[in-house]
Chain A
Amino acid sequence: NAGVTQTPKFQVLKTGQSMTLQCAQDMNHNSMYWYRQDPGMGLRLIYYSASEGTTDKGEVPNGYNVSRLNKREFSLRLESAAPSQTSVYFCASWDPGTANTEAFFGQGTRLTVV
Chain B
Amino acid sequence: AQSVTQLGSHVSVSEGALVLLRCNYSSSVPPYLFWYVQYPNQGLQLLLKYTTGATLVKGINGFEAEFKKSETSFHLTKPSAHMSDAAEYFCAVSRRTSYDKVIFGPGTSLSVIP
Contacts and interface: CB of A to CB of B under 8 A. Distances in A.
Interface of A: 4, 30-31, 33, 35, 40-45, 48, 50-51, 58, 90, 92, 94-99, 101-103, 105-108
Given A40-B106, A102-B46, A107-B43, A58 B90 contact: no
Contacts, number: 71
Contacts of A44: 104
Contacts of B34: 102-103
11 contacts: A33-B101, A33-B102, A42-B106, A43-B90, A96-B95, A96-B99, A101-B49, A101-B51, A102-B49, A103-B102, A107-B42
Nearest to A33: B101
Contact of A42 (B51, B96, B107): B107
Given A97-B96, A97-B100, A105 B44 contact: yes
Interface of B: 9, 32, 34, 36, 41-46, 49, 51-52, 90, 92, 94-107
A105 to B, nearest CB: 4
Nearest to B90: A42
A103 B99 contact: no
B99 A30 contact: yes
B32 A101 contact: yes
B99 A50 contact: yes
Contacts of B32: 96, 101
B52 A99 contact: yes
A76 B107 CA distance: 24
Contacts of A31: 99
Of B44, B52, B92, which is in contact with the most chain A CB atoms at under 10 Å from its CB? Answer: B44
Given A105-B43, A107-B43, A108-B43, A97 B97 contact: yes
A31 B97 CA distance: 13
Contacts of B44: 43, 90, 92, 103, 105
A48 B106 contact: no
